[in-house]
Chains A and B, each alone.
Chain A
Amino acid sequence: MDDQAKSMMDKLGLDARLLGMIGALVVIWIVFGFFTDWRFLSPRNFFNVSVQTASVAVMATGMVFVIVTRNIDLSVGSMLGFIGMTVAALQVQWLPSVLGLGHPMIWVIAVFAAILMGAVLGAAQGWVIGYLTVPAFIVTLGGFLIYRGAMWWVTKGQTQAPLDPVFRLLGGGAEGTLGETLSWVFGTVAAVVALAIMLMSRRRKATHGFTVKPVWAEGILMAMAAGLIMAFVWIMNSYPIPRGAMRRMTEARGIEYTDGMVWNHGVAIPVVILLAVTIVMTIIATRTRFGRYVYATGGNPEAASLSGIDTRLLTVKVFALMGALTGIASIIASARLNAVDVGLGTLDELRVIAAAVIGGTALSGGAGTIYGAVIGALIMQSLQSGMASVGVDAPLQNIVVGFVLVLAVWIDIVYRRRAGV
């Protein structure tokens, strides 16, 4: 990179890692686009990839905190399955027999139950790790086996389906979206909020007399942020709902269906959930004491406790948060499939860890960003979907993903060494 480009990047304040990840993503999309007659770059595919990324990405944001504090959580895939099965049984068997089938509170109870269950299971693991000082690797390896077994016991291995119709919307699909109009509203609000945050931060820095980015750089960044958000909404709003689903939906809303009628999907609800989780987790990471302590503890546990941080309690909180996010991911995953079988969540722990690590989270602790993990999940899913769409069979897919993981971490190590961090 020549000096001029470098100084421009410095002014924009974009770091090389973020650009690298976005670059990798664009390359993946273009390569698979090329081999699929650009089908890979269709609104339909972007919609599907966005929905398929959501569950793993939600968990990856929590895994960032876990890894930053020098821990690991191998149990999230099994925990997702266990929660999914329990909550499915709740909807299919237990609640209908108490409240009656199709009761409007079923999905609300199911959602709360999933998140609460995750938080409790996570906190329990965190307690064993923090207070009994059993290494996280062992505790969560135990959890990995325990939850998968417990999942079977919930229903003696029986698949649970179909799920509550409202609950199902949380997994995406033709009905599980914001729809066109709401998507535009959503995009506009998101863009305005993003611009407001950038302006406010600039003003705050200026009042302290710090140097701020040049106006042109800030302008470019703001245009990029707003542009990306609106482009995403536009793509999601260009994917027409298939005819069968249209008939169902028009009927449900009492509208007469005609042949020329076109409705588009819009932003999927799991993607909205993912965005909300990403924003909340980013705020926690960068603007709360808890987040600061997570990073401090990862950087130097001894210094953290000498500064009065209760690192044991912090471990419990981090794992409880990871569990709650696994609960949310479990809702998305089970709702998307509209069924839970005993295989739900298998290998997800590895996808989640890989997403966090590809996104720049250092296994040595102390470093990692939430947006990085989300982009990491998107890269993983794009690779997997791309290979599936060009007909690469599953074993070869795993081999490729394995190589990419190692390659990504190696590049990251080289980058860190160069940047001296």
Chain B
Amino acid sequence: MTTPLVEMKDISISFGGIKAVDHVSVDLKPGEVVGLLGHNGAGKSTLIKILSGAYAMDTGEILINGEKATINNPRDARTYNIETIYQTLALADNLDAASNLFLGRELVGPTGFVDDDAMEAETRKIMARLNPNFKKFKDPVSALSGGQRQSVAIARAVYFNARILIMDEPTAALGPHETQMVSELIQQLKAEGIGIFLISHDIHDVMELCDRVSVMKNGKLVGTVDVADVTDDDLLGMIILGKKPGES
């Protein structure tokens, strides 16, 4: 059996009195897509934000390639090649697509100054792959549509050769064609051996793209199942009732 890429063990975090994530364990293998499902406020985003370095967990540990990892901030996560598409997209609205794509990792010229032209050229290349209709390279991202903004966030996560990719509702604002392109992208990245956590509310998408699914309810893990073993209705039951199929 291959060592999992990521193991999150017994993770808990609370905000004030609320236990947003309560002793949850999930794992991810290379070339695997693991779906995270659950009702609104179940704790999905909070769980993955611990992996991406945005929040510090109260208890639990994270193993990357079987070794204990210390992730105290988003920079640490990046050194483990963890890239994240946040539900909120996390874009600086006043900057253009290229500045957002390279935020925190700007390309610099030989003199150490930021090379905007090189960044724009790279951005044009990757956007041509992800969203060929995208033309607004000079505008601040506040001037983009919801879907265009989402493509910028996706481009940022994909550009830097992630080995672990976290996608928090990546297609929520996308049109059918763009959603299709993201599905193809996920399959292509999976084939390259990248591990992906995919948060989505679309059970159909999850069934199609994921290998396994972990379901959360009120901060707790309901269970993790192979998609091959369950139906749409089974998953729906897990989300709503908080019970694994066959449990009573």
Query: A-side interface residues toward B, CB under 8 Å?
Result: 204-205, 208-210, 283, 286-289, 291-293, 295-300, 302-310, 366-367, 420-421
Contacts and interface: CB of A to CB of B under 8 A. Distances in A.
A287 B113 contact: yes
Interface in B92-130: 92-95, 99-100, 103-106, 108, 112-114, 117-118, 120-121
A210 B86 CA distance: 31
Given A210-B117, A303-B90, A304-B92, 8 more contacts: A208-B118, A210-B120, A292-B99, A306-B90, A307-B90, A309-B103, A421-B140, A421-B142
Interface stretch (B73-81, B177-185, B191-199): B73-81
Nearest to B49: A306
B236 interface: no
Interface string B5-18: 00000000000000
Main secondary structure of the interface of A (DSSP, over half): helix
Contact of A299 (B74, B88, B95, B117): B95
A289 B90 contact: no
B179 to A, nearest CB: 23
**Among all A-B residue pairs, the 4 with the closest Cβ atoms:** A299-B94, A299-B92, A307-B104, A366-B94
A172 B140 CA distance: 41
Contacts of A421: 140, 142-143
Contacts of A307: 74, 90, 103-104
A418 to B, nearest CB: 13
Contacts of B200: none
A289 B93 contact: no
A259 to B, nearest CB: 53
Interface in B114-168: 114, 117-118, 120-121, 140, 142-143
22 contacts: A208-B118, A283-B113, A287-B113, A289-B108, A293-B104, A295-B94, A296-B103, A299-B94, A300-B94, A303-B89, A303-B90, A306-B74, A306-B86, A307-B74, A307-B90, A307-B104, A308-B73, A308-B104, A308-B105, A309-B104, A366-B94, A421-B142
Contact of A300 (B54, B75, B84, B93): B93
Contacts of A293: 104
Contacts of A289: 106, 108, 114
B105 to A, nearest CB: 8
A295 B95 contact: yes
Contact of B117 (A208, A286, A308): A208
Nearest to A290: B114
A164 B100 CA distance: 49
Nearest to B102: A292
Nearest to A301: B92
Contacts of B113: 283, 287-288
- Identify which of B88, B103, B120, B121 gathers the most chain A CB atoms within 10 Å of its CB: B103
B87 to A, nearest CB: 11
Nearest to B118: A208
B46 interface: no
B90 A308 contact: no
Contacts of B171: none
Contacts of B108: 289
A250 to B, nearest CB: 45
B52 interface: yes
B28 interface: no
A306 B100 CA distance: 12
A287 B114 contact: yes
A298 B91 CA distance: 12
A420 B143 contact: yes
B112 to A, nearest CB: 8
A306 B93 CA distance: 14
Contacts of B100: 303
Contact of A306 (B54, B94, B120): B54
A310 B75 CA distance: 9
A240 to B, nearest CB: 42
Nearest to A305: B74
Contacts of B88: 302-303
B118 A292 contact: no
- Identify which of B54, B92, B95, B114 gathers the most chain A CB atoms within 10 Å of its CB: B92
A102 B88 CA distance: 62
Given A208-B120, A302-B90, A306-B86, A296 B95 contact: yes
B57 to A, nearest CB: 17
Contacts of B54: 305-306
A191 to B, nearest CB: 22
Contact of A366 (B93, B106, B117): B93
B122 to A, nearest CB: 10
B121 A303 contact: no
Contacts of B140: 421
Contacts of A367: 94
